[in-house]
Structure 1
Amino acid sequence: MDGACRYGNLYSQAYVTNTAALITVLFKNGAACGGCYEIKCWNNTQWCNPGNSSVFITPTKLCPPNDAFPNDNGDWCNIPQEHFDMSQPAFSQIGFWRAVIVPVLYRRVLCHMDGGMRFTINGNRWFNLVLVSNVGGMGDISDVSVKGSETGWISMKRNWGQSWECDTVLVGQSLSFQVTTAEGMQITSDNVGL
């Protein structure tokens, strides 16, 4: 639950258990949060599930490096490893749990999310913090703008993960959001909240 993407309860945010922590090179300071990957156990029949099925996961956490260990397989979260630290239910779909680590093939894929995009609005009078989740398409977000019922569009900046912020006072206004996904798709959600 929770994690560096700041999704909080992964069940209420629709990510459930098909999740993983990514190393810094894949995590991209949180820009990868919400994206989707297909992962398949590879070249290790002893530890791969029969049929070598794949699993679809969403990054929700960071797998932090440990500089006390060498980078040559000393710590799986150290650069240059391309490591997915998967939840047990997700890992168990491709490999036997007792294996702990298996080689995988992975690729970015489109996300198939049900229930529409979600906005969790926090902050205070002078600071707006908005968590954007359950985004379809590629799933990760490159840009967010907010528009109050009394303002024009205001560009927000990434706070961390998929939390976006702006310091414009928007109290009492109906809010609309314009979200641009990593592949350039722009989605506008009107009158999301007050």
Structure 2
Amino acid sequence: MGFAFKYGYSLLCIMALLPAISYSQDYTFSRATYYGSPDCLGTPSGACGFGEYGRTVNDANVAGVSRLYKNGTGCGGCYQVRCKAPNLCTDDGVNVVVTDYGEGDKTDFILSPRAYARMAHPNMAVELIAYGVVDVEFRRIPCRYSGYNLMFKVHEHSRFPDYLAIILLYQAGQNEILAVELWQEDCKEWRGMRRAYGAVWDMPNPPKGAISLRFQVSGSAGVTYWAQAANVIPSDWKAGIAYDSTVQLS
């Protein structure tokens, strides 16, 4: 399932499972494994609803998570994951994006094969893959998408003008989206959208005309605030198109 974007983009995805074990400074100790993929990329059918974006975003360094999925709120979050296998792994590990839900054998992250291999030194990837499951430590890091604002993609299952579903893409920083609302001009009030699943929000019978959105953001410092994108989706919106919000989260 591909994305038709109004603007150009580049992609990366991750799948991760996160049962925390203990802490070392700002890292959490756990384990990670990887899932099967013929092209080493992510999956377009992930629980976050990202589709093709979730398969290839962040150069396909993506992961599925369990606890960190947070009923979909954790979708789009970024983590640094580094393995603890002696002599096999780099100090930096790999930076991944959460694009799916998954559970493994006492693991926090189920990584794309590409992301799993990138934890290793260049000549040690085969040996690391042979481990199957490896001890890791991870920490939350800001997502960075140079040149991109937060974007709203109209889900392919939307039906103009009776049903609108949107997906939030390029969610930068260490932010989580807690709620999304549409402005109802005739009633002069904000109407809440439903989190259908993952990063997908929907509403039957959306307002006619250009659509303004606001979304509740929980930042890295624990501060919750509302950000607004006026007329971000045009009156003649089409399924499969992503619209630039001009909003940059940090």
Same fold flag (TM > 0.5)? yes
Q: Distance in 2 between matches of 1:174 and 1:93?
A: 43
Q: Does 1:155 align with 2:188?
A: no
Q: Report the counterpart of residue 86 of structure 2 in structure 1.
A: 45
Q: Does 1:4 align with 2:57?
A: no
Q: Report the counterpart of residue 21 of structure 1 in structure 2.
A: 64
What does the per-residue CA deviation read over 1:63-122, in whole Å, with 9 as the maximum and x for residues that have no partner? Answer: 14xxxxxxxxxx52xxxx342000111111213222221111111121112311111124
Q: Does 1:87 align with 2:120?
A: no
What RMSD over aligned residues (CA atoms) do the two structures have, in Å?
2.3
Q: Distance in 1 between matches of 2:76 and 2:137?
A: 19
Q: TM-score, normalised to structure 2's length?
A: 0.63
- After TM superposition, the structure 1 stretch with the greater mean CA deviation from structure 2, 182-191 or 27-36, is 182-191
Q: Report the counterpart of residue 31 of structure 2 in structure 1.
A: none
| SS of the residue 2:80 aligns to | strand
Q: Distance in 1 between matches of 2:177 and 2:170?
A: 11
- After TM superposition, the structure 1 stretch with the greater mean CA deviation from structure 2, 54-63 or 138-147, is 138-147
Q: Report the counterpart of residue 67 of structure 1 in structure 2.
A: none
What does the per-residue CA deviation read over 1:115-170, in whole Å, with 9 as the maximum and x for residues that have no partner? Answer: 11111124223322111111112143111112255553222121100001123432
Q: Distance in 2 between matches of 1:147 and 1:13?
A: 33
5 Å-filtered alignment, 1:75-154, equals 75-76=104-105, 81-95=106-120, 96-114=128-146, 115-122=148-155, 123-124=158-159, 125-147=161-183, 150=186, 152-154=189-191
Q: How many residues align?
A: 175
Change (3 A) 1:129 1:11: closer
Change (3 A) 1:99 1:35: same
User: After TM superposition, which residue ranges in structure 1, 4 or more long, deviate above 3 angstroms?
Assistant: 11-16, 148-152
Contact 1:53-1:93 within 8 A present in 2 as well: no
Q: Report the counterpart of residue 36 of structure 1 in structure 2.
A: 78
Unaligned runs of 5+ in 2: 1-42, 121-127, 236-250
| SS of the residue 1:90 aligns to | helix
Q: TM-score, normalised to structure 1's length?
A: 0.79
